[in-house]
Amino acid sequence: MISKQFLEQIRVVAMQYPAVVGTIISGLEEEKTNGYDEDLKIKSLRQISSKNAYQAVAEMFRLWAIEVKQISSKEVAVSLTTAQYCDDIAHRDLSIELVWTGPNAGIVPMRRTDQALFELINEATEELTIVSFAVYKIPELVKALKQAITRGVRIRMIVETPEASDGKISFGIDSLGDELLRNLTIFVWPLDKRPTNEEGKYGSLHVKCAVADKKRLFISSANLTEYALTLNMEMGLLVYNEYLAYEVVEHIDSLITNKILIKII
């Protein structure tokens, strides 16, 4: 029986590194081994220049060697081909809903911004990434985040603060409360990591988005404030697509790895 771990790694290679999959498949089909082959691994890895892709493919070969050594190179090639095909279909399997705060014109039906955001938070089972310029006095948000933490969801927030923004924003995230903050991971974009113009003015953290479980993506013009979610005119999208959600999380991960975003809590 093929292990789930091996199949998952095949999916990772096919989904995250499509540029190298064709080369790997060609090598597997050409060699026609009856089981795991170390020379085939070395030959395949030599053709990969990307560090991350190299590590992913190396892990696939490692799992092949220790968990399913008896399956042939042709079977691995078929598995990769199938995973790549399914990923291509997933790219096309895209559901997008408009979300809106403001006057209801009664012509085009749209989800309310707060409803869409809280639905995303409430459906999260593993992890949440939330980015906002402003976070201020939303009891419903605090309640939803506390419930998510109770379910075991890991939550990280990337926010603007008075210190990091050089005074562009006058309030921080204190309104979330000490109890909630103790269970969150908070990142900021420090001033010394921001570009400036000729007048010495700094850029702002102006992104507003949320990602749940690397599957669902919320993008909006609305900050996490009472005005933005109830009074302002705001528009955004609620996107159900694993590929796009994953790309957003990977981009944020890279900003953290490269110390452009810095953990403060």
Give pTM, 2 decimals.
Answer: 0.70
DSSP 3-state assignment of 215? coil
| 93, pLDDT greater than 80 | no
Instruction: State how far the Cα of 35 lies from the Cα of 75, in Å rounded to an integer.
Output: 9
For the chain, give the percent of residues with pLDDT over 70: 98
Helix/strand/coil for 154: strand
Residue with tokens 């078929």: 78
Provide the pLDDT confidence category of residue 38 given band limits of 50, 70 and 90. very high
> What's the token pair of residue 214?
């690397």
Residues in the chain: 265
Quickly tell me which residue has 């921080």 as its tokens: 172
Q: Of 83-97, 172-186, 204-218, 240-254, which gets the smallest average pLDDT? A: 83-97
Residue 92 has pLDDT above 80, yes or no: no
Tens digits of residue pLDDT in 207-255 = 999 999 999 999 999 999 999 999 999 999 999 988 899 999 999 999 9
Residue 128 has pLDDT above 90, yes or no: yes
**Amino acid making up residue 79:** S
The residue with greater pLDDT, 172 or 107, is 172
Residue type, 178: D
Report the distance separating Cα 110 and Cα 229, nearest Å.
14
- Mapped onto helix, strand or coil, the DSSP state of residue 100 is strand
Radius of gyration of the chain (CA): 22
Find out whether 13 and 48 touch, Cβ atoms under 8 Å: no
* Nearest alpha carbon to residue 128 among 70, 9, 221, 209: 209
Residue 236, SS3? strand
* In the chain, % of residues over pLDDT 90: 75
CB neighbourhood size of 125 (10 A): 12
Is 146 within 8 Å of 180 (Cβ atoms)? yes
Provide the pLDDT for residue 107: 67
Measure the CA–CA gap between 159 and 172, rounded to whole angstroms.
8
pLDDT digits (tens, 9 = 90+) for 57-80: 999 999 999 988 889 999 999 999
Q: How many CB atoms lie within 10 A of CB 78?
A: 15
Q: How large is the average pLDDT for residues 194-213?
A: 94
Q: Is the dihedral of CA 253, 257, 259, 263 positive or negative?
A: positive
d(CA 123, CA 217): 12
* 254 Cβ neighbours under 8 A, 6+ residues apart: none
Q: What is the mean pLDDT of residues 148-165?
A: 93
What's the average model confidence in pLDDT over 86-109? Answer: 82
Instruction: Please say if the pLDDT value at position 194 is more than 90.
Output: yes
For residues 46-51, give the mean pLDDT: 91
Predicted confidence band of residue 127 (pLDDT cuts 50, 70, 90) = very high
